[in-house]
Amino acid sequence: VPDGRLQMGYVGCGFMAQNVHLPNFSSIAGCRLLGLAERRPRLGRLVADRFGIERLYPTHEDLASDPDIQAVAVSAGFAEQGEIAADLLRAGKHVFMEKPMALSIAQGERILAAEEAGDARLMVGYMKRYDPGNRLARETIRSWRADGSRGRPTYARNHGFCGNWTSGLDTSTMLGTDEPQEASPWAPELPDWITDKTAGEQYVWALQQFTHNVNLLRFMLDAGDDVQVRAVDLDPDGQRGVVVFEMAGTRAVLEAGALDYHDWDEHTQVYFEGGWVHAFSPPLLVPSTQARVETYAGGDQYSTATLVAPQRDGWAFREEARHFVRSVLDGAEFDSSARDTMTDVRLFEEIFRHHLGVA
Ligand SMILES: NC(=O)c1ccc[n+]([C@@H]2O[C@H](COP(=O)([O-])OP(=O)(O)OC[C@H]3O[C@@H](n4cnc5c(N)ncnc54)[C@H](O)[C@@H]3O)[C@@H](O)[C@H]2O)c1
């Protein structure tokens, strides 16, 4: 490493890049943004200049052949960003990519094979796992499980009704050009048992939203791949309803919704025989906010508490970027690895098989 910093590239100059990831990676002392790839060349130039990025490439393949770049972050179309990640892994670059990794088990396995064939590693952007409040909730759940003081976990729920995820974000300074954006076809990446166009659109909508919630529930319960789908009761369009899982021996429920709401309506609660831990997620794009965590411990000496994480500026997306840089430099495992998210990919195929009655 030339100056001790991770030499990074970035692919894509769209909404997430400009509003979230480029500002975050730019603010991290442990890395330097050295290269940028964007298919729309004039947009690429504007964004490279704004963030002081020296090298500009027309595609991710050109960026992948830059020998000075060690790691790359990607935010592009939801079906193609995994393919971009696989190309970068094959070129030996460590990759951070936006979620979802893949639309189907088949696509996911292809991407994982690219990772496993070399030495580079892939992290997937489940930023809620890096929210300091959510991490505090998980530590509390872990310690209650370890010491048995509240009995066993009996029930977990993630209430994911969505809402206003951008919270009035000021996008007036976003850079744009009149260059047309290339279409990014996603239908070929659907599971092969989804043949109906409308079902495909509904699957993608539900996957895009609720993969976060399923991923977070698994994290809170340390369930890994020990998850089965028990029951699915969704509206025909797949946007609202409940999914019941068994996660590491605990019943866990996704309460899926789509609410026209001025705020962000999401919380996760894990019940024990003698208490609960409850984390309320903040709206996604408000920096320096984190999940609020409350606990209740029962018994004669019952108590309630509000837990506060030590970081004052802990924003899920910034902590996620820090985790990527730190883990690549230290060789530590990612808390949202490609291998781990294969469980989310499998579960969404299973949920929609139940939902559509496909054997
Ligand atoms: N974590 C979250 O909560 C969250 C929220 C919103 C979006 N996302 C994910 O972020 C991803 C990106 O969303 P967005 O709104 O920023 O997309 P976008 O369409 O605004 O931007 C993508 C950019 O990538 C460029 N691009 C595509 N392929 C390229 C290639 N091969 N080489 C160079 N440039 C290329 C496009 O020209 C475009 O400018 C989506 O997959 C979405 O699922 C995640």
Residue 20: pLDDT above 60? yes
- The pLDDT score that the predictor gives to residue 205 is 97
CA–CA separation, 230 and 240 (whole Å): 17
169-206 confidence digits (pLDDT tens): 999 999 999 999 999 889 999 999 999 999 999 999 99
Nearest Cα residue to atom 25 of ligand 1? 12
In ligand 1, which atom is closest to the CA atom of 57?
A: 33
Query: Mutation test of ligand 1: which of 10, 15, 211 has the most ligand atoms closer than 8 Å to its C-beta?
Result: 15
Closest alpha carbon to 28 in 10, 49, 5, 12: 5
Calculate mean pLDDT across residues 217-238: 98
Q: Separation of 234 CA from ligand 1 center, angstroms? A: 28
In ligand 1, which atom is closest to the CA atom of 18?
A: 16
Q: Token digits for 34? A: 């050295």
Q: How far is the CA of 50 from the CAs of 23, 36, 223, in angstroms? A: 10, 12, 42
34-76 confidence digits (pLDDT tens): 999 999 999 999 999 999 999 999 999 999 999 999 999 999 9
Residue 116: pLDDT above 90? yes
pTM beyond 0.95: yes
**pLDDT confidence tier of residue 310, bands split at 50, 70 and 90:** confident
Q: Separation of 77 CA from ligand 1 center, angstroms? A: 5
Four-residue CA torsion sign, 61, 63, 64, 66: positive
- The pLDDT score that the predictor gives to residue 27 is 97
User: Percent of the chain beyond pLDDT 90?
Assistant: 94
Dihedral, CA atoms, 28, 31, 37, 40, nearest 10 degrees? 20
- Coil, strand or helix: which one is 228? strand
Q: Separation of 78 CA from ligand 1 center, angstroms? A: 7
Nearest Cα residue to atom 28 of ligand 1? 76
Calculate mean pLDDT across residues 293-304: 93
CB 57 within 8 A of CB 67: no
- The pLDDT score that the predictor gives to residue 187 is 92
CA–CA separation, 260 and 258 (whole Å): 7
**pLDDT confidence tier of residue 2, bands split at 50, 70 and 90:** low
CA–CA separation, 111 and 209 (whole Å): 21
318-333 confidence digits (pLDDT tens): 999 999 999 999 999 9
Residue 300: pLDDT above 90? no
228-247 confidence digits (pLDDT tens): 999 999 999 999 999 999 99
Nearest Cα residue to atom 24 of ligand 1? 12
Calculate mean pLDDT across residues 266-273: 98
- The pLDDT score that the predictor gives to residue 355 is 98
Q: Separation of 117 CA from ligand 1 center, angstroms? A: 26
Q: Residue 198: CB partners within 8 Å, gap ≥ 6?
A: none
Query: Mutation test of ligand 1: which of 13, 15, 16 has the most ligand atoms closer than 8 Å to its C-beta?
Result: 16
Amino acid letter, 54: E
- The residue behind tokens 């976990």 is 153
Query: Mutation test of ligand 1: which of 10, 75, 174, 266 has the most ligand atoms closer than 8 Å to its C-beta?
Result: 75
Q: Separation of 247 CA from ligand 1 center, angstroms? A: 31
Nearest Cα residue to atom 7 of ligand 1? 16
Average pLDDT, the chain: 96
Pocket lined around ligand 1, Cβ cut-off 6 Å: 11-17, 37-40, 59-60, 75-78, 80-81, 84, 98-99, 125, 127, 181, 208, 284
- In this structure, of 81-85, 180-184, 200-204, 267-271, the range with the lowest mean pLDDT score is 180-184
Q: Token digits for 348? A: 């969404």
**pLDDT confidence tier of residue 312, bands split at 50, 70 and 90:** confident
What is the 3 state secondary structure string of 89-143? HHCCCEEEEECCCCCCHHHHHHHHHHHHCCCCCEEEECHHHHCHHHHHHHHHHHH
Q: Token digits for 73? A: 């972050």
Q: Separation of 15 CA from ligand 1 center, angstroms? A: 7
